[in-house]
């Protein structure tokens, strides 16, 4: 993991890999990795961020991440429609393929890993006004739902899609969801009660969840713990 160890943002990715290698995940339990895409280029204008591609180092680290995923698991990939998320998933899959001699891991686009219904001009204005505090204000419901849809709606939409997907998961398989920092933060908060805006979700950072009958088990930088399902989570 030479490249991941050399970048300032690689700690979260390395921690996820170490968790998969060193902790005994519960067997035959639906399991996912919720992951932010790899390093992207920095656009000059906010509206250009949607098309910002991966850097060459971003591709390399995603490949390295895949190469170091435990080979005892099978993997399926679901990604935001944004190109850098798709390319992150493809590079991770290439890394797996190099060591497993297989390129059969399924890959599929998933709209809920990207969608936030909003008036973009207002979204842009609020983001410029609040900067790094944007997530705290959004979660705190400081913004009108007519301007930006409530974050719980975003988290529920992802949950509904993921609940359907894990029902088709085969044993000894992990579903990898490649998304964006906002979506990783929102899903972790509304599913586990842990908010990570003080320590931002970096590239290739995220968490692992296992879905038990009456609880969810989380593995992340916040620690390893079990929580009850939210009241709105209908299995």
Task: Give the length of the chain.
Answer: 235
103 pLDDT higher than 60: no
Q: What is the pLDDT of residue 85?
A: 97
DSSP structure string for 180-209: -HHHHHHHHHHHHS---SSS---TT-EEEE
Two structure tokens written together for 164: 């359907």
In a domain, 230, yes or no: no
In a domain, 78, yes or no: yes
Q: What is the pLDDT of residue 99?
A: 61
Q: Sign of the C-alpha dihedral, residues 70, 224, 38, 148?
A: positive
In a domain, 171, yes or no: yes
In a domain, 25, yes or no: yes
Range 13-32 average pLDDT: 92
Nearest to 185 by CA among 161, 167, 211, 158: 158
Q: What is the pLDDT of residue 22?
A: 86
In a domain, 63, yes or no: yes
Range 26-33 average pLDDT: 94
Angle between helices 11-22 and 56-67 (to 10 degrees): 10
132 pLDDT higher than 90: no
Assess contact for 202 and 38: CB atoms under 8 A.
no
Q: Which structural domain, as residue segments, surrounds residue 151?
A: 2-221
Q: What percent of the chain has pLDDT over 90?
A: 77
Q: How confident is the model at residue 178 (pLDDT cuts 50, 70, 90)?
A: very high
In a domain, 139, yes or no: yes
135 pLDDT higher than 90: yes
Nearest to 177 by CA among 124, 114, 227: 114
Range 48-75 average pLDDT: 91
pLDDT, tens digit, 9 for 90 and up, residues 189-225: 999 998 887 778 999 999 999 999 999 999 998 889 9
Task: Classify residue 123 as left (phi > 0), alpha (psi -120 to 50) or beta.
Answer: alpha
In a domain, 132, yes or no: yes
Cα 42 from Cα 202, distance rounded (Å) = 14
Provide the number of structural domains found in the chain: 1
Q: What is the pLDDT of residue 169?
A: 95
In a domain, 231, yes or no: no
56 pLDDT higher than 60: yes
Range 120-145 average pLDDT: 91
Q: What is the mean pLDDT of the chain?
A: 91
Q: What is the pLDDT of residue 151?
A: 97
Range 120-146 average pLDDT: 91
Nearest to 175 by CA among 203, 206, 151: 206
Two structure tokens written together for 53: 């591609």
Q: How confident is the model at residue 100 (pLDDT cuts 50, 70, 90)?
A: low
Q: Which CATH number do you get for residue 14?
A: 3.40.50.1240
92 pLDDT higher than 80: yes
Q: What is the pLDDT of residue 46?
A: 62
């Amino acid at each position: 993991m030479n490249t991941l160890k050399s970048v300032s943002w690689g700690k979260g990715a390395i921690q996820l890999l170490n968790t998969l290698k060193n902790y005994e995940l519960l067997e035959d339990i639906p399991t996912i990795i919720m992951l932010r895409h790899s390093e992207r280029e920095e656009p000059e204008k906010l509206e250009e961020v949607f098309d910002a591609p991966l850097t060459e180092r971003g591709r390399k680290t995603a490949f390295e991440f895949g190469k170091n995923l435990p080979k005892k698991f099978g993997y399926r990939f679901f990604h935001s429609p944004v190109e850098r998320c798709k390319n992150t998933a493809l590079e991770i899959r290439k890394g797996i393929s190099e060591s497993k001699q297989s390129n059969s891991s399924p890959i599929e686009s998933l709209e809920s890993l990207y969608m936030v219904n909003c008036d973009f001009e207002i979204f842009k204005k609020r983001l410029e006004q609040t900067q790094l505090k944007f997530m705290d204000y959004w979660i705190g419901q400081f913004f009108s739902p007519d301007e930006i849809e409530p974050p719980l709606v975003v988290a529920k939409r992802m949950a509904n899609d993921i609940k359907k997907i894990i029902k088709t998961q085969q044993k000894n398989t992990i579903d990898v969801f490649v998304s964006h920092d906002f979506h990783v933060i929102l899903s972790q908060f509304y599913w586990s009660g842990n908010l990570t805006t003080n320590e931002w979700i970096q590239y290739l950072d995220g968490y692992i969840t296992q879905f038990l009958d009456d609880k969810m088990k989380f593995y992340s930088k916040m620690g390893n713990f079990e929580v009850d399902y939210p009241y709105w989570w209908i299995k």
